[in-house]
Amino acid sequence: MSAARYTESDVRRLAGPRSYERGLGYVDAVGPLHVDSRRISARVQGTERYSVALEDEDGLRAACTCPYGEDGHFCKHCVAVALTALREADRLPALREEAVMRDAALDTWLDGLGRDELLRLVRERLAEDADFKNKLALRVAAAGGDTSAVRADITALLDPADFTQYGYIAYEDAPGYAAQVTRAAQAIRDLAADGHGAVAVAVAREGIRRVVGVYETADDSDGSIAEAAEDLERAHLAACFAAPPDPDETAQWLIDHCLGDGGEYLEVEPADYREVLGVQGLAALRALAAEAHRRNPSGSAERSLLESLARAVGNLDELIAVRAASLEANGYTHLTIAEELDAAGRPDEALEWAERGLRHAAAEDERPHRGLVDHLAAHYARDGRPADALTVRRDHFQSDRSLHTYRALRTAARAVGLWDTERPPALEQLRVDAEGNRKRQWGGAVLIDALTDDADFDAAWAAAPGLATADQLLRLADASATTRPAEALAVYTRQIESCCRHTGNGTYARIADLLTKARACHEELGTPHDFTAYVARLRTEQKRKRNLMRILDHRGL
């Protein structure tokens, strides 16, 4: 069984830099972790004691009872619990196993309860949880055949009025509305399962239209409404399977959705409806799509629809014809066609299209798409044509001198034993580029990255003055700390001094990381006492930063 199913990068991305930095200071305030098969929960002592729940089965999600968390944000308390779970990752499998055993024991207990005891438990839940009560009320209405009541309840769930206090759905209100849309989707599934599939189809289409309209007045930056809308569309498809609607009418609905405003906000894959449409409906849909494309041959929605239908019927040549009618200048379209042909077991045609894409990019005076070059070079290598692969890589390096193209050139040249011949002119070109761009380096000179990647550290340190950025120097220091500890230590020390001019738990964690690296350099140099003195001096100078002192203590620095 796996441990944590997410990474620290996931936490940082979901929280944002501000909440992430604040969360670092709350790690010590996290109580015991409670883990089950899908959820990790704990209490965090903040201004008050807050409850945090993480779900990490299909991507990391979090909820917290603090005001910021209740608005749907991944707050500092969520960060603290998520990081605590990562640090205790080795314990998670055992805790999950214990949770499975507890769940099994609970199931056994429930199986042994009588009818009256179960009813008492349900009634207690109904009295405590209004949301649970509403869900059951929907099931009762559907089971009783009162479809008009169910329809009204679903319509109410999709009404955004309670979330549009400013005339639109604000970012902080989007998750609340999304939750209601998800409930509506489940109600539609229940309606179809209870034998009212035709009504469920109609209600789902009304709901999709309503939610699409909401997008125009909603800040859905976190994607919660989009995700709920996709669930609504899946509920519609399930209803269609439960009670297949008229195929011609369904074809028209799909066309109207995909080519109207709905297609812009909620992507529906017509191929998913193939069984629902049947032969008649699929033919009708293809005819409608072809006519729409004839009227608007440059429309991306029309082209995408034709591609989807070609995939639905398994007609690769038709798919290629659609794509070939609108070729991108850099050869990317050629690449997608080549990939489709390769997947279909037609490698000769795939190679022809990839080569054609390279020629097309040259004719358009465009830098070829990187993926196209990678695809073509891999084809040559598989076909036993390493010299051709090297030629392609060399030409690409000439037009796009980056670390990626340098690495690719190195791999191709080594395959034919020519790297010693290819490397000097390639480095010379990078050196000329670096000198010419000395005053406008953004990501730093590619020359430094290439030499570091080659593990030619002496040459990289020699070229670094005036060319390397701070990030490049850090990467170089990390790569060569054991062989060039004095140079690496100087880089780490400068970065520590720079970080000390700023505040924030993220900065403090970075200082601790750099100090750890600096300690390793001192050990290589045989000067551990100098490091001890340096840390003592830094602690004295920064003693007012209590969170920094706490982090240093935690790291043993």
Average pLDDT of the segment spanning 304-314: 83
Neighbours of 336 (CB within 10 A): 21
State in Å, rounded, how far the first CA of the chain is from the last one.
35
Residue 173 near residue 225, CB atoms below 8 Å: no
Percent of the chain having pLDDT more than 70?
94
Residue 386 within a domain: no
Element (DSSP H or E) covering residue 51: strand 49-55
pLDDT for 385 = 93
* Domain stop point among 219, 243, 267: 243
Q: Do 151 and 69 belong to one domain? A: no
- Specify the pLDDT at position 297: 82
Asked if residue 509 is part of any domain, the answer here is: yes
Name the amino acid, one letter, at 289: A
Handedness of CA 297, 299, 301, 307 (dihedral sign): positive
Q: Is the pLDDT of residue 515 over 90?
A: yes
Residues 209 and 153 reside in one and the same domain: yes
For the entire predicted model, the pTM comes to 0.59
How many CA atoms are closer than 13 Å to the CA of 548, on its beta-carbon side?
Answer: 22
User: Who has greater pLDDT, 104 or 332?
Assistant: 332
Q: CA 541, 544, 548, 552 torsion: positive or negative?
A: positive
**95-109, 132-146, 465-479, 520-534: which has the minimum mean pLDDT?**
132-146
Average pLDDT score over the chain? 86
Q: In what order do the strands lie in the sheet with 49-55?
A: 34-35, 39-45, 49-55, 61-64
Tell me which residue has tokens 């097309």.
360
Proportion of the chain in helix, strand, coil states, percent, rounded to 5: 75, 5, 25
Q: What value does the mean pLDDT take over residues 34-39?
A: 78
Helices (H) and strands (E) in the chain, counts: 28, 4
- Spatial CA neighbour of 416 closest among 381, 375, 370, 373: 381
**DSSP state, residue 50:** E
- pLDDT score, position 117: 85
Task: Tell whether 149 and 237 lie within a shared domain.
Answer: yes
The verdict on 131 and 239 lying in the same domain is yes
**Residue 552 predicted with pLDDT over 50:** yes
Task: Give domain status of residue 468, yes or no.
Answer: no
Which tokens sit at 482?
Answer: 């054991």
Domain match, 74 and 154 both: no
Instruction: Tell me: pLDDT of 139 over 90.
Output: no
Three-state SS annotation for 58-107: CCCEEEECCHHHHCCCCCHHHHHHHHHHHHCHHHHHHHHHHHHHHHHHHH
The answer as to whether 165 is a domain residue is yes
The 10s digit of each residue's pLDDT in 206-240 is: 999 888 888 888 888 878 888 888 889 999 999 99
DSSP bridge pairs for 64: 52
| pLDDT tens profile 444-484 | 789 999 999 999 999 999 999 988 888 899 999 999 999 99
Per-residue pLDDT averaged across 296-317, rounded? 84
Residues 6+ apart with CB under 8 A from 467: 434, 438, 441, 444, 445, 447, 448
149 and 209 in a single domain? The answer is yes
Q: Which residue has the higher pLDDT, 311 or 446?
A: 446
Same domain, yes or no: 216 and 139: yes
Q: Which residues of 41-78 are buried (b: 16+ CB within 10 A; e: fewer)?
A: bbbbebeeebbbbbebeeebebbbbbebbebbbbbbbb
Q: 549: domain range?
A: 481-557
Q: Is residue 31 part of a domain?
A: yes
Per-residue three-class SS string for 148-189: HHHHHHHHHHCCHHHHCCCCCECHHHHHHHHHHHHHHHHHHH
CA distances, 285 to each of 274, 302, 303, 382, 485 (Å): 10, 12, 14, 41, 68
- pLDDT, position 267: 79
Nearest one of 444, 517, 446, 506 to 478, comparing CA atoms: 517
CA angle 100, 102, 107 (to 5 degrees): 95
Co-location of 16 and 102 in the same domain: yes
pLDDT (mean) for 342-348: 91
Higher pLDDT, 50 or 531: 531
Same domain, 175 and 201: yes
Asked whether the beta carbons of 16 and 2 are under 8 A apart, the reply is no
Residue at which a domain ends, from 77, 111, 145: 111
Quickly state the pLDDT bin for 2 (edges 50, 70, 90).
Answer: very low
CA dihedral 90, 96, 99, 100 (to 10 degrees): -140
Are residues 74 and 135 part of one domain?
no
pLDDT at 145 over 80: no
352-381 pLDDT, tens per residue?
A: 999 999 999 999 989 999 999 999 999 999
Under 8 Å between Cβ of 309 and 285 = yes
Domain count, the chain: 3
pLDDT recorded at residue 1: 32
| Angstrom distance (rounded) from CA 68 to CA 66 | 6
What's the rounded mean pLDDT across residues 75-88? 90
Taking alpha carbons only, the member of 253, 263, 242 closest to residue 284 is 253
Does residue 443 lie within any of the structural domains? no
| Residues 131 and 238 grouped into a single domain | yes
Between 131 and 526, residue with greater pLDDT: 526
147 and 90 together in one domain: no
pLDDT at 354: 94
Q: How many CB atoms lie within 10 A of CB 557?
A: 17
Question: Which amino acid, 511?
Answer: I
Task: Specify the DSSP element, H or E, that contains 520.
Answer: helix 505-525
* Assigned domain for 398 exists: no
pLDDT digits (tens, 9 = 90+) for 417-445: 999 999 999 999 999 988 877 544 556 78
| In contact, 263 and 217? CB cutoff 8 Å | no
**What's the number of CA atoms in the CB half-sphere (13 Å) around residue 297?**
6
d(CA 79, CA 295): 52
DSSP 195: T
What pLDDT score does 3 carry? 59
Residue 380 falls inside a structural domain: no
Give the end of a domain, one of 111, 139, 156: 111
The residues with which 63 forms a beta bridge, in sequence order, are: 53
Across 308-317, b (16+ Cβ under 10 Å) vs e yields: bbbbbeeebe
